[in-house]
Amino acid sequence: MATTTRTYLDHSSATPLDERARAALLEALDAFGDPLRVHGDGLTARRLLDDARATVAAAIGAQPDEIVFTSGGTEAVALAIWGGVRPIRELGRRIVTTTVEHPAVGGVLTTLETDGFESILVPVDERGVVDLDAFAAEVRTPGTLLASVQHANHEVGSIQPIAEAARLSREAGVLFHTDACQTVGRLPLDAVALEVDLLSVSGHKFGGPPGVGALYVRRGVPVAAYPCGDDRERRRRSGMENVPGVAAMAAALAARLEDMGDQAARQWALTDRLRSGIVERVADARVHGHPTQRVPHLVCFSVAGVDAEILSMALDDRGFRIAAGSNCSGAAGEASSVLEQMGSPATTSFRIGVGPETTDEDADRLLVTLPPLVAELREVAASADLAMDRFEDGA
Written as one string, the DSSP assignment of 8-69 is: E-BTTT--PPPHHHHHHHHHHTT--S-TT--SHHHHHHHHHHHHHHHHHHHHTT--GGGEEE
Q: Is 311 helix (H, G, I), strand (E, B) or coil?
A: helix
Q: Do 82 and 193 lie in a common domain?
A: yes
Out of 209, 235, 258, a domain closes at: 258
Q: Is residue 151 part of a domain?
A: yes
Number of domains in the chain: 2
Q: What is the mean pLDDT of residues 385-392?
A: 52
Q: Do 264 and 331 lie in a common domain?
A: yes
Q: What share of the chain in percent tops pLDDT 90?
A: 78
pLDDT band (50, 70, 90) for residue 1: very low
Q: Do 56 and 165 lie in a common domain?
A: yes
Alpha carbons 9 and 6: distance in angstroms, whole number: 10
Q: Do 164 and 247 lie in a common domain?
A: yes
For the four alpha carbons of 197, 12, 248 and 43, in that order, the dihedral sign comes to: positive
Inform me whether the pLDDT recorded for 334 exceeds 80: no
| Per-residue confidence (pLDDT) for residue 17, from 0 to 100 | 97
Q: Is residue 162 part of a domain?
A: yes
| Per-residue confidence (pLDDT) for residue 346, from 0 to 100 | 62
Structural domain boundaries enclosing 351: 7-13+260-394
Q: Is residue 1 part of a domain?
A: no
Q: What is the mean pLDDT of residues 108-125?
A: 96
**Does the model's pTM come out above 0.85?**
yes
pLDDT band (50, 70, 90) for residue 229: low
Of 156, 172, 187, 178, give the one whose Cα is nearest residue 338.
156
Q: Do 269 and 252 lie in a common domain?
A: no
pLDDT band (50, 70, 90) for residue 393: low
Q: Is residue 144 part of a domain?
A: yes
Q: Do 217 and 268 lie in a common domain?
A: no
Inform me whether the pLDDT recorded for 91 exceeds 60: yes
Q: What is the mean pLDDT of residues 106-122?
A: 95
Q: Do 227 and 166 lie in a common domain?
A: yes
Q: Is residue 2 part of a domain?
A: no
Q: Is residue 295 part of a domain?
A: yes
- Side chain identity at residue 160, one-letter code: Q
Q: What is the mean pLDDT of residues 103-125?
A: 95
Alpha carbons 136 and 25: distance in angstroms, whole number: 44
CATH assignment of the domain containing 173: 3.40.640.10
pLDDT tens readout for residues 150-209: 999 999 999 999 999 999 999 999 999 999 999 999 999 999 999 999 999 999 999 999
Q: What is the mean pLDDT of residues 348-361?
A: 94
Q: Which of 289-298, 328-337, 370-379 is the least confident region?
A: 328-337
Out of 243, 258, 273, a domain closes at: 258
Q: What is the mean pLDDT of residues 315-324?
A: 94
Out of 223, 243, 258, a domain closes at: 258
Q: What is the mean pLDDT of residues 302-321?
A: 90
| Per-residue confidence (pLDDT) for residue 5, from 0 to 100 | 81
Inform me whether the pLDDT recorded for 381 exceeds 60: yes
Q: Is residue 86 part of a domain?
A: yes
Q: Do 191 and 89 lie in a common domain?
A: yes
The residues that are catalytic are 328
Q: Is residue 222 part of a domain?
A: yes
Inform me whether the pLDDT recorded for 148 exceeds 90: yes
Q: Do 180 and 292 lie in a common domain?
A: no
Q: Do 240 and 208 lie in a common domain?
A: yes
Q: Do 219 and 270 lie in a common domain?
A: no
pLDDT band (50, 70, 90) for residue 332: low
pLDDT band (50, 70, 90) for residue 117: very high
Written as one string, the DSSP assignment of 269-291 is: HHHHHHHHHHHHHSTTEEEES-S
Inform me whether the pLDDT recorded for 83 exceeds 70: yes
Q: Do 107 and 202 lie in a common domain?
A: yes
CATH assignment of the domain containing 363: 3.90.1150.10
